Amino acid sequence: MKRDWTSLVNIWTIAGTLFVAACLLLFTLISIGWTRPPQNPGVGFVPANLTIIAPPTATAVSQPTATPAGTVTPPPGLLA
């Protein structure tokens, strides 16, 4: 088996692979175009079913945070 890369990677092998890829892509696009059913021209966007949730009318009152039992509140100015 020949291990020389220059014989494998030349202009003809690159052109051949690009040609095969282009043919496969063209075949795929043509087959999609022929097998797709025709669309009605009157069909537009389907309206979305939206549910609009109204904002609350009153804001909730937050409860003050209680100091847990058994802990000491540090004096003002002292970081714990």
Residues 80, 74 contacting (CB under 8 angstroms): yes
By the 10 Å C-beta count (0-12 exposed, 13-18 middle, 19+ buried), 8 is classed as exposed
Query: Phi then psi for 18, rounded to 5 degrees?
Result: -65, -35
pTM for the structure as a whole = 0.41
- Ramachandran region of residue 6, left (φ > 0), alpha (ψ -120 to 50) or beta? alpha
Position 57 pLDDT exceeds 70: yes
Per-residue pLDDT reduced to its tens digit, 2-55: 667 777 788 999 999 999 999 999 999 998 887 777 766 666 666 677 778 887
Q: How far is residue 28's CA from residue 22's CA, in Å, rounded to a whole number?
A: 10
